[in-house]
Amino acid sequence: MELKNRGDLIINGIGASNGGKFQRVILNGRGTVNSDLECSDFECNGSGTVKGDVIANTAKVSGNASFKGTIDSQQVTVEGTAKIEKNLYAKHLQVSGKASVGGKVKCEEINLHGILAVGEDCEAEIFTGKCRFTIGGLLNADQVDIEIYGECKAKEIGGQSIAVKQQKGSFIGTLFKPFLKTQLETDLIEGDIIELENTIAKVVRGNQVKIGANCQIGLVEYTEEFSQDKNAVVGDSKKA
Amino acid sequence: MSEELISKKDLLDLTGISYGQLYRWKRKDLIPEEWFIRKSTFTGQETFFPKEKILERIDKIQTMKENLSLDALADMFSPNISDLQLEKDDLIKRNIVSDTVMNFYLENDMNGLTFQFQRILEAYVLEKLLQSGEINLDEGKMVLQVLKDNAPLIKQKSCELVIIRKLGVSSCLLLINAEAVYLEPGTKMVASLSLMTCMEEIKSKLL
């Protein structure tokens, strides 16, 4: 990308732009961009709307942003809420607030400290976080390492090593425990090394499977090792 | 086309790959999404694959991954056209297109001697069809026209090129994600060519 001779787009207050190619795009206040954007840095601090696709090096949402198209950026940081109607492609995705994506997510690394909702598949090499998530399709990641806060859902999970842990108990957590169920619900988990807690799954397949506390698993198929916590319910386990 | 299917578990047993590898290859688009066929069985949902295709693909990946990175492999299998440009002489030297076919192609396409992937593909398809004697030069022109008119489609989807002939009159079809074609009894299918396979063949010749 040739970026040197491009100008900046800065909207402070209420304003609208038709989009185009820029060096920096900053939306403070209520900015609206009516078509596609291509820029080096995208930042939204107030409540911004982009009605097209965004191609950027870095994209940061600190307020409230909604995108009608696809985001393609090296680094995506969401500190407020972001709503993306189509797909999200990034090298590194960091969510500290809430991000909802209508289509699919494809990243190298996803780090979550908030809420992520994905309509279709979610792919990453590394998927870590302390989070709540809902994934409509397959969560496909080489390493899944999550601590669940609240109700998590994914249709399927597949990868190399998959570890699901319950959040470490906090005082407030214990107060509200009867109301909030911290649980991961999924149809199928497949991986080489699997370690689960607080998980409801119909089928779990893996080489080394460790079922921890508060799990309800319909069927476990394993090839090497299998262990089960006394507080877990496993319908059937088979060594393949 | 009903193909023999293989379940995911049998596939892993047979090929000796792990879940991690399978999912990694899927992420890198080494295995196309369409090959993951979901069916319900008595244990719930299971994933199946078209047996012949997946075994061939896994074999290819396993033999080539020693020399190439996964990303390079992904480029090779993906239908996305790489930003590749070659000169006429390069194509002839690498045995992608022969001299005669190249001259025929250039007579019909005046866009110069530098070939982008789309043009390489066109020339390669002509090469295959003309060299095998399945079509004649006039039909070659027709094929070229079809490929040129539908260039944007070819880039995205898995396309198949079918040439039919009836009573000496030939016609050319481009099928997109088609399962099968049925023809009237008097019609002869002269040639059918998967463009995806052609792209892979070209890419493997280039590497």
Same domain, B195 and B110: yes
pLDDT of residue B146 exceeding 60: yes
Beta bridge mates, A46: none
Q: Is B27 close to A161, i.e. CB distance below 8 A?
A: no
What 3-state class would DSSP assign to B120?
helix
Confirm if B172 and B50 have CB atoms less than 8 A apart: no
Give the pLDDT confidence score for residue A81 in this predicted structure. Answer: 92
Same domain, B71 and B121: no
Q: Is B20 close to A205, i.e. CB distance below 8 A?
A: no
Same domain, B67 and B105: no
Q: CB distance from A186 to chain B under 8 Å? A: no
Give the pLDDT confidence score for residue A149 in this predicted structure. Answer: 84
Confidence of residue B207 (pLDDT cuts 50, 70, 90): low
Nearest CA to B6 among B31, B42, B39?
Answer: B39
Long-range contacts of B129-133 (CB under 8 A, 24+ apart): B129/B163, B129/B191, B129/B193, B130/B101, B130/B104, B131/B98, B131/B101, B132/B191
The last residue of one of the domains, among B61, B77, B93, is B77
Judge if ipTM > 0.85.
no
Same domain, B95 and B189: yes
B chain contacts of residue A188, beta-carbon cutoff 8 Å: 44-45
Same domain, B150 and B167: yes
Q: Is B18 close to A207, i.e. CB distance below 8 A?
A: yes
Q: Is B19 close to A221, i.e. CB distance below 8 A?
A: no
Task: Compute the distance between CA of residue B122 and CA of residue B127 in angstroms, rounded to an integer.
Answer: 9
Give the pLDDT confidence score for residue B141 in this predicted structure. Answer: 83
Q: What is the pTM of this model?
A: 0.68
Maximum separation of any 2 CA atoms in chain A, in Å = 65
Give the pLDDT confidence score for residue B1 in this predicted structure. Answer: 47
The encoded tokens of residue B52 equal 């012949």
Same domain, B106 and B57: no
CA angle A113, A119, A125 (to 5 degrees): 55
Same domain, B126 and B181: yes
Domain that holds residue B176: 85-206
Q: CB distance from A205 to chain B under 8 Å? A: yes
pLDDT tens digits for range A80-117: 899 999 999 999 999 998 999 999 899 989 998 888 99
pLDDT of residue A179 exceeding 70: no
Alpha-carbon separation of residue B27 from A138, B55, B90 (angstroms): 11, 18, 33
What total number of domains does chain B contain?
Answer: 2
Chain B, 8 to 27: residues with Cβ < 8 Å from chain A are: 8-9, 13, 18-24, 26-27
Same domain, B130 and B35: no
A chain contacts of residue B21, beta-carbon cutoff 8 Å: 160
The last residue of one of the domains, among B77, B103, B127, is B77
Alpha-carbon separation of residue A2 from A21, A22, A59, A134 (angstroms): 10, 10, 18, 38
Same domain, B17 and B46: yes
CA angle B73, B29, B126 (to 5 degrees): 65
The last residue of one of the domains, among B77, B96, B111, is B77
- Choose among B9, B18, B45: nearest Cβ to A240: B9
What 3-state class would DSSP assign to A89?
strand
Same domain, B91 and B174: yes
Give the pLDDT confidence score for residue B119 in this predicted structure. Answer: 79
Least confident piece of the model among A7-21, A49-63, B76-90, B115-129 = B76-90
Give the pLDDT confidence score for residue A101 in this predicted structure. Answer: 92
Q: What average pLDDT does this structure show over B148-176?
A: 81
pLDDT of residue B23 exceeding 50: yes
Residue of A nearest to B22 (CA): A159
Round the average pLDDT of chain A to a whole number and report it.
Answer: 87
> What's B59's domain CATH number?
1.10.1660.10
